[in-house]
Structure 1
Amino acid sequence: MPSRERYSIGWLLGAALGLFLAAPLSADDVQEASGEWSQMAPLPEQRTEVSVATDGERIFLAGGFKQAGERSATAPRTLFAHDPGDDRWEALTELPRGVNHAGLEYHDGRLYVIAGYDEATFDPIDDFHIYDIDADEWRSGPAVPTPRGALATAVLDGRIHAIGGTTYGREDVGAHDVYDPQSDEWSQLATMPTPRNHHRAAAIDGRIVVLAGRDDTTFRLTTNEIYLSEEDRWEEGAPVPSGRSGVAVTVLDDWVYLFGGETFAPEERTFDEAERYHPEEDRWESLPAMPTARHGLDAAAVDGAIYVIAGGPEAGFAFSDLNERLIPDD
């Protein structure tokens, strides 16, 4: 979350209790993996709370906040595309509406911008914008059934899933809505067991892995809940080794990768942790730390490399144009 909202003493005490009750994995439970980080062409603008997607060749980035003052921001509408082969960015189009903490997914030649917060506010919206890349045309799709921001999204079996987030009154929801492009309709699926926000999701092998986030007790959830599509049910996976929120998640080969994040209690800081989860084996590995700790970032994998883009180096309102690439060794 780029601007820290005002929390009550009771809320902060609850956050501290949540940290105490969380049970992160011990060092013996997490193996180490290797990889190499490098700096790539920076994003043309410094942003945070962005949304990223890929078609397997290019990386698309939309939404978020752009700094407009020491503690204020605007919602930039330019949608950028990055070509990893040429390591360059281009401005692709303009969003119909400024949005932050939204979902962004690619499927079958189209980009889907899903819910989020309106412009530079924390007002949840139910907007659903669809961009035909080849035609360079936007259209408004059917409204997301549950308006929310700071949600998690994923594409599985050709359908777009919107999971969790916060809605009106800053209420966390576990709502799980799915959009079918064939029928152009939304429907509801099994609710995520832990209502939360500032989490991320990734689809892999017929399931959706939803990691980390925050709720009304802690900024540092270690929650790992896995949606099984064929059975329309959730199960619990091995907890995240380093609980945090405002993270980035992507998939490469058989692994779900988790990067960065922030917390405000008991201390205020960002995370440089890079970890990966193997759903089949239900285990975690740690990776070399990110060169720059940050939150409000996002990530995508192309040709065996992972690009971790934008986000705030400090907790709260902070911005960057960073584009750091990880190439795992295996």
Structure 2
Amino acid sequence: MARPAAKARVPKHLVALAVVAILGLVLVADYLWASSSASSSAVWSSRLNLHTGPAGSTPPVAKKIKEDKKSVGSTGINATFADLPAPELKWEEMAEAPVARLDGAAIQIKNLLYVFAGYGTINHVHSHVDIYNFSDNTWGGRFDMPEDMAHSHLGMVTDGRFIYVVTGQYGPQCRGPTTRNFVLDTETKEWRGMPPLPVPRYAPATQLWRGRLHVMGGSKEDRHEPALEHWSLAVKDGKALEKEWRSEKPIPRGGPHRACVVANDKLLVIGGQEGDFMAKPGSPIFKCVRRSEVVYSNVYMLDDGTTWKELPPMPKPDSHIEFAWVNVNNSLVIAGGTTDKHPITKKMVLVGEVFRFNLGTLEWSVIGRLPFRIKTTLVGYWDGWLYFTSGQRDKGPKDPSPKKVKWVALGTVCHCHRCVVCLFF
């Protein structure tokens, strides 16, 4: 009698490979879902009450939305490093920007937001200015910057007509800084030079205070070591009244990427970091390599010109916020940024909270959350609405680390990097 055929045995290593393949497909599907949902073209808006100031009117294409007071916190991030609880906001997308930017700069004058320079990709930097009109939700009026003006990590401030542009990084990757300074007449679109800084700096804190242009902190020429120096120059109507910068009281803690604000005749410097990417030694393209960074929450105030005082710190350490703030109804509002590395993954962590600093009570609060965590937001405020554009966003609700810079510029998946978003106060 014939014996039945033996069942074919599948080698154990093939079974293991099949299991690994299935798990891999599941992980890829989960990643793609997270990426697509985080970068959806849907953006939201929500009413937020600061209890002071006019209600404002609805901007173009905005909708009437009820306030949602639901508090939300971390969404799956390791509990040792989570988002702060915040009211849930609904955001709405506005007109798409002509180009994406990282480490660009922005200055608001009335209903216009002047958006300068920045990285398009890590190997390409912009050398022009785009203008967003808050009144009609349009972009236009592009014009070029001077050929020898820095392209990122700029110090910048305005007196309401003239925009003063100080030092910064010239070129892509991690190239060196420049001492060159410029002033732009926004009415004529004419540029003129200003006396150079004593030494170049990356992303210094910059403000106009009591008739002088103040520049302080930032990173030194190696792009990594924090600087403490503080200089000022007398200026008026877009012109320097002195030929050389004057040394002022050094800032207690140096470093780049901090908000610098004049409020109630006091000079405030908020947040920032020590350390940054550096150029790889010997690299012909100045390729960026990571170095240690310490992000901080310190707030310093100079009220008499001679003594720095420390004010209550931010709710969490926050950096890359030099153009991420507005002064509204005696409150500073700061949106997004970066905080300390995740203690387990050691990756950069982006900030999605919207912070408020009440200048009357000197108290901080978290008043909302952006539609995604984002680095180097460019913020403006008009007619009761808060706007932001540009920056580098997170990988998704469960991953606060940043996407690659090229994703910001291409806009293929994360096109909301290039949109202006509004929030009703």
**TM-score, normalisation: structure 1:** 0.82
Q: After superposition, where does 1:4-153 map in structure 2 within 5 Å?
A: 37-67=91-121, 72-96=122-146, 97-120=149-172, 121-153=174-206
Aligned counterparts of 1:33 and 1:270: Cα–Cα separation in 2: 18
- RMSD over aligned Cα, in angstroms? 2.4
What is the one-letter code of the residue matched to 2:295?
R
CA apart distance, 1:108: 4.5
Greater CA drift, 157-166 or 133-142 = 157-166
The answer to which structure, 1 or 2, has the higher relative contact order (CA under 8 A, 6+ apart) is 1
1:200 and 1:82 mapped to 2: Cα distance?
A: 22
Range with bigger deviation, 233-242 or 156-165: 156-165
Is 2:382 aligned against 1:285? Answer: no
Offset at 1:102? 0.5
* Contiguous gaps of at least 5 residues in structure 2: 1-80, 276-291, 395-401, 409-416
Number of residue pairs the alignment of both structures matches: 295
Residue 159 of structure 1, aligned match among 212, 217, 223: 212
Give SS of 1:271's match.
strand
Mapped partners of 2:265, 2:158: distance in 1:
17
Q: Of 381, 389, 402, which residue of structure 2 is paired with 1:301?
A: 381
Match of 1:210 in 2: 269
User: What residue ranges of structure 1 are gaps of 5+ in the alignment?
Assistant: 1-23
Q: How far, CA to CA, are the matches of 1:136 and 1:103 in structure 2? A: 19
TM-score under structure 2 normalisation?
A: 0.64
Query: Superposition pairs for residues 192-207 of structure 1, below 5 Å?
Result: 192-207=251-266
Contact 2:317–2:340 (8 Å) recurs in 1: no
Instruction: Give the one of 312, 329, 344 matched to 1:238.
Output: 312
Offset at residue 146 of structure 1 (A):
3.5
Amino acid paired to 1:293: R
Question: C-alpha deviations, 1:80-104, integer Å up to 9, x for none?
Answer: 1111001111133211134101022
What code does the residue aligned with 1:227 have? L
Query: Structure 2 CA distance, aligned partners of 1:123 and 1:325?
Result: 35
Q: Deviations over 1:97-121 (max 9, x none)?
A: 3410102222242122111111213
- Paired residue for 1:10? none
Deviation of 1:244 (Å): 2.4
Alpha-carbon distance between aligned partners in 2 of 1:155 and 1:77, rounded to the nearest angstrom: 24
Cα–Cα, structure 1 residues 239 and 75, in superposed 2: closer, same or farther, change >3 Å? same
In the TM superposition, what are the counterparts of 1:303-322 in structure 2 within 5 Å?
303-314=383-394, 315=402, 317=405, 319=408, 320-322=417-419
Q: Which has the higher strand share?
A: 1
The structure with more radius of gyration: 2
How far apart in 1 are the matches of 2:232 and 2:162? 16
1:14 corresponds to: none
Measure, in 1, the Cα distance between the counterparts of 2:380 and 2:358.
17
Q: Summarize the Cα distance change of 1:125–1:285 in structure 2 as closer, same or farther, 3 Å threshold.
A: same
- 1:173 to 2:227 alignment: yes
Q: Compute the displacement of 1:237 (Å).
A: 0.8
Secondary structure at the aligned position of 2:273 is classed as coil
Identity %: 19
Most deviating of 107-116 and 178-187 = 178-187
Q: Distance in 2 between matches of 1:111 and 1:283?
A: 31
Q: Please give the per-residue CA displacement for 1:196-242, whole angstroms capped at 9, x wherever unaligned.
A: 222121211111221111114743311111121x3432111111102
Deviates more, 1:286-295 or 1:215-224: 215-224
Deviations along 1:237-288, one digit per CA (max 9) or x if unpaired, are: 1111021221222211201111111246233331111101123311011111
Amino acid at match of 1:116: G
Cα pair 2:150 2:178 within 8 Å, conserved: no
Contact 1:124 1:166 survives alignment (8 Å)? no
The 3-state SS of whatever aligns with 1:168 is coil
